[in-house]
């Protein structure tokens, strides 16, 4: 787990001249890899690397040079992530091709696999990764991101070359070198206010984009980047014929999870685990305990009753026999930390849960260097409560189209906050119209009153149309999951997981997002995902013998953060101050925002998520556009090895 940076210039002299700028850009992502900082130049190509040493601590330095006998140092690699099946791949490469290795890490395996298998090697990698390989013989770059988008990769192209990096802020540092002038992307801003994140491949700055999840790419110096999707998730449920098939499904799920956790525990440093009150993190911690009897689990909570899973997590930790560390977060701590957190994010993500995640990651880094976590379980096994909506809206599907549209018109006349309004509104819509992910911040009618640059041509369909086309013949829950894999998971869940842990030089691993686990999860029938009483039904049954009984059927809390209350109380003056000082009048109707804050304070409406989205954007704008907000960026001060 590290930070990579690549700069491909028109000429060798241009690359040499750019190296001082590249050094400054590397410094922006020092938190991703405080153990080593190295650069390498080969002709017009310059690679830089910040290393967080996890495997093969004494070797596996990057940028890494490798080549087969007679072509030594043909390839140069910059790689962020972990390959969990590198031991098996290494053995196969040696047996089949006589491949030679000089380290005991996973980095060499990627390059050797590419040499012998070509671009198809990417599909053999079991892990999380973003990498780029310079082939000095063919004089071209090849690279890829992992199937689910666990690790980030930004890029920008201009007259001065192409830059690729784990952090957008590093590319911003290279804007003059590239000859680009990144400005606010107003289309991306509207997407952010609809979804609470900027969907891939966009970023909030023009000229800077992201390589999408499950995608490989190639380019030659002076040419354009050519991308190719090598992985498209497909849900194809099994046909179940009776109890024996059901029992087999549950066993397959448990076996896949146990194998994935075993491989995710491979490290030459101490591995811990995050632990909430839910089944996802609990089963990961319980399985990790089988490999590390001294496992430490980390939980965060809040100084407000009803918004903490600490007690349940503590009970789970005691039941599975792991050490337990708790970090409680206050409103004052959140307000103080948000500007620094926003700097680490690169683009705003209006998910309040990322703030306590930053705090618990900082606490965990005092004890371990790697943590396991439960991200991805909901998307793979049907864990979100909204996945049950097709059951509740099933009666509407029998209503003729004209009548459904009339119901929608009726819903617009019902005052906000009246019970049944939203059910009627959503029942009048098709799945493609109503579902665009777990977070729906501003509807069009709400956005028009706030966003001065509002455009009716910018909608959630920009992000969801393709996943819906790919899943047209699937059941509705599988279609919702498919949309979430391309939107919510990689736009929110994995961004906050990567950014908040790497901000603290902590590697986070997600065993649910493993292609062997997905292979089984994709076969779970709809009725084994959701019922009228619960979600993740098959997963709950599969792990019933692994985790404590009190967790199995517990209602999902979704990591609640008490901003609804805090924005009425402790955070109210802070929110007003952010809005009043923000220089975003050309983009946002600040009077409308202030009115929204006041209406929320008096209890007329719950605007907390919309207010939070606007505050996060205004803070981001104050840092990256105005330069008015200047967080003090700490130097990583951790032991090199734990």
**Active site (catalytic) residues:** 2
513 vs 172, 325, 358, 534, CA distance in Å?
30, 25, 21, 22
Strand 75-83 and strand 127-135: the pairing is antiparallel
**Total number of residues shown for the chain:** 642
> Are 382 and 530 contacting, i.e. CB atoms less than 8 angstroms apart?
yes
Joined tokens for residue 308: 């903490």
Query: Half-sphere exposure (CA, 13 Å, Cβ side) for 562?
Result: 20
> Are 442 and 610 contacting, i.e. CB atoms less than 8 angstroms apart?
yes
Listing DSSP states for 525-585 in one string gives: -GGGT--SS-SSHHHHHHTTTTS-HHHHTPPP-----THHHHTTTTTHHHHHHHHHH---T
Q: In the beta sheet, which residues pair with residue 227? A: 217
The 3-class SS string of 222-239 reads CCCCEEEECCCCCCCCCC
> Are 342 and 358 contacting, i.e. CB atoms less than 8 angstroms apart?
no
86 vs 93, 107, 125, 409, 464, CA distance in Å?
10, 9, 8, 57, 34
> Are 287 and 546 contacting, i.e. CB atoms less than 8 angstroms apart?
yes
Q: Please tell me the distance from the alpha carbon of residue 426 to that of residue 328, in angstroms, as a whole number.
A: 37
Q: Which of 151, 226, 213, 191 is nearest to 467 (CA)?
A: 213
Q: Please tell me the distance from the alpha carbon of residue 167 to that of residue 346, in angstroms, as a whole number.
A: 7
Q: Supply the DSSP symbol for 268.
A: S
Q: Which of 312, 235, 230, 222 is nearest to 275 (CA)?
A: 312
Q: In the beta sheet, which residues pair with residue 40? A: 47
Strand 208-210 and strand 323-329: the pairing is unpaired
């Amino acid at each position: 787990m590290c930070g990579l940076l690549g700069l491909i210039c028109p000429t060798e002299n241009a690359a040499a001249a750019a190296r001082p700028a590249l050094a400054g850009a590397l410094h922006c992502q020092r938190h991703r890899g405080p153990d080593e900082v190295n650069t390498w130049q080969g002709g017009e190509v310059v690679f830089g690397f910040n290393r967080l040493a996890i495997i093969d601590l004494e070797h596996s330095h990057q940028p890494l040079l490798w080549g087969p006998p007679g072509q030594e140092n043909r390839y140069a690699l910059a790689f962020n992530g972990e390959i969990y099946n590198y031991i098996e791949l290494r053995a196969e490469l040696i047996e089949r091709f006589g491949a030679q290795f000089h380290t005991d890490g996973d980095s060499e395996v990627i390059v050797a696999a590419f040499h012998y298998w070509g671009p198809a090697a990417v599909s053999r990698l079991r892990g999380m990764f973003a990498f780029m390989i310079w082939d000095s013989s063919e004089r071209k770059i090849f690279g890829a991101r992992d199937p689910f988008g666990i690790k980030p990769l930004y890029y920008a192209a201009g007259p001065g070359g192409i830059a690729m990096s784990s952090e957008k802020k590093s590319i911003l540092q290279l804007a003059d070198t590239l000859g680009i002038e990144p400005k606010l992307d107003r289309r991306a801003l509207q997407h952010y206010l609809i979804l609470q994140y900027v969907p891939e491949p966009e970023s909030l700055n023009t000229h800077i984009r992201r390589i999408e999840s499950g995608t490989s790419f190639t380019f030659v110096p002076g040419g354009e980047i050519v991308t190719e999707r090598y992985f498209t998730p497909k849900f194809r449920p099994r046909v179940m014929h009776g109890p024996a098939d059901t029992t087999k499904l549950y066993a397959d799920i448990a076996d896949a999870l146990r194998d994935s956790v075993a491989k995710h525990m491979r490290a030459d440093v101490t591995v811990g685990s995050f632990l909430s009150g839910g089944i996802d993190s609990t089963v990961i911690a319980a399985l990790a305990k089988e490999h590390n009897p001294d496992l430490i689990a980390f939980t965060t909570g809040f100084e407000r009753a009803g918004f903490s899973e600490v007690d349940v997590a503590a009970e789970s930790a005691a039941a599975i026999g792991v050490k337990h560390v708790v970090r409680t977060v206050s409103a004052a701590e959140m307000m103080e930390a948000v500007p620094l957190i926003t700097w680490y994010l690169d683009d705003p993500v209006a998910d309040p849960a990322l703030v306590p995640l930053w705090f618990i990651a900082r606490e965990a880094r005092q004890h371990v260097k790697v943590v396991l976590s439960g991200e991805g379980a909901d998307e793979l096994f049907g864990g979100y409560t909204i996945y049950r909506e097709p059951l509740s809206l099933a009666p509407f599907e029998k209503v003729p189209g004209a009548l459904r549209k009339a119901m929608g018109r009726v819903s617009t006349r019902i005052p906000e906050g009246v019970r049944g309004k939203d059910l009627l509104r959503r029942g009048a819509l098709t799945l493609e119209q109503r579902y665009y992910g777990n977070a729906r911040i501003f509807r069009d009618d709400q956005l028009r009153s706030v966003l001065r640059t509002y455009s009716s041509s910018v909608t959630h369909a920009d992000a969801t149309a393709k996943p819906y086309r790919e899943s047209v013949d699937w059941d509705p829950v599988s279609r919702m999951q498919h949309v979430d894999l391309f939107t919510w998971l990689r736009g929110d869940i994995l961004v906050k997981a990567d950014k908040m842990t790497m901000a603290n030089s902590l590697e986070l691993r997600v065993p649910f997002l493993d292609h062997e686990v997905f292979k089984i999860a994709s076969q779970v029938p709809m009725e084994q995902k959701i019922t009228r009483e619960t979600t993740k039904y098959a997963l709950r049954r599969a792990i019933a013998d692994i985790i404590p009984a009190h967790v199995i059927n517990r209602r999902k809390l979704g990591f609640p953060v008490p901003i609804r209350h805090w924005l009425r109380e402790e955070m109210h003056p802070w929110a007003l101050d952010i809005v009043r000082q923000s220089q975003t009048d050309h983009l946002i109707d600040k009077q409308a925002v202030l009115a929204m804050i006041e209406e929320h304070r008096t209890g007329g409406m719950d605007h907390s998520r919309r207010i939070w989205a606007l505050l996060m954007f205004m803070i981001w704008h104050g840092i990256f556009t105005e330069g008015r907000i200047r967080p003090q960026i700490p130097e990583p001060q951790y032991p090199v090895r734990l």
